[in-house]
Amino acid sequence: MTSISTRAHSADAHKHGVLFVFAAGVLWSTVGIGIRMIDDAVVWQILLYRSISMSLFLYILFRMRSGESPFVQIRRIGSPVVVAGLSLVAAYSGGIYSIQNTSVANAMLLFATAPFMAAVLGWIVLRERVRFATWIAIVVAIGGIAIMVADKSGSVALKGSLAALGSAFGFAAFTVALRWGRTGEMLPAVFLSGLFAFAITLAICFGLGLSVVLSPNDGFISMGMGGASRCRSDPLHAGLT
């Protein structure tokens, strides 16, 4: 009876996981629209405000759900959370920069290479088996990427395409880090990425002489992205990791 109950729970978790992953994809696709609606803010200013709202939201959520600080959970899990948090900073930075410097369609297509990168990283780092069909898909994807990037050579769009690939690699590294720390709660990694991004972008803004005060429109949209990012993190505890 226990075995049947366990299988039923696992099946439900998987269904919820698939639903959350689909929702995450939909929410991630709205980032391009949000960034296009920003008037003057550059990538570092956007990330600064986005990180503030995301970290505050998640801190309150952790307190309400578990009654303990996310820092306690971070210390309990250790290195996988830190690696995942840093990977997300790279993913977010590259994602926003790419959308500001190339077309949304081009950036989104390059973001879609993240699963292939994750498969290769998982094979290298975690020694997870990769199917032959997956290797074929990876080779085809690399060929398509080469054509797309070559078409953008000699322009600002090339930097945007390379940043999109860097973002995809960040998400791939994040995925592998989740697998590494799958025995524990990995949602604190998203909270930690917000703190990392806040510290890094604040230093960059001061270093480049960028204002940390945005217009109401840019500030509202940037902080709204932080809330959407938390929703995109739901698959972390939905039975798919």
The model's confidence at residue 202, banded by pLDDT at 50, 70 and 90, is very high
The model's confidence at residue 198, banded by pLDDT at 50, 70 and 90, is very high
Q: How far is CA 110 from CA 11, 107, 134, 139, 181, in A?
A: 32, 5, 17, 14, 27
For residue 108, what pLDDT is reported? 80
For residue 72, what pLDDT is reported? 87
For residue 235, what pLDDT is reported? 46
Residue 2 lies in a domain: no
For residue 170, what pLDDT is reported? 92
Residue 44 lies in a domain: yes
Residue 205 lies in a domain: yes
For residue 24, what pLDDT is reported? 66
Residue 191 lies in a domain: yes
Residue 52 lies in a domain: yes
Residue 3 lies in a domain: no
Q: Provide the residue range defining the domain that includes 219.
A: 8-237
pLDDT exceeds cutoff 70 at 3 = no
Among 108-117, 139-148, 165-174, where is mean pLDDT lowest? 139-148
Number of domains present in the structure of the chain: 1
Q: What is the pTM of this model?
A: 0.76
Residue 46 lies in a domain: yes
Q: How far is CA 165 from CA 122, 133, 176, in A?
A: 17, 22, 17
Residue 111 lies in a domain: yes
Q: Which residue has the higher pLDDT, 9 or 234?
A: 9
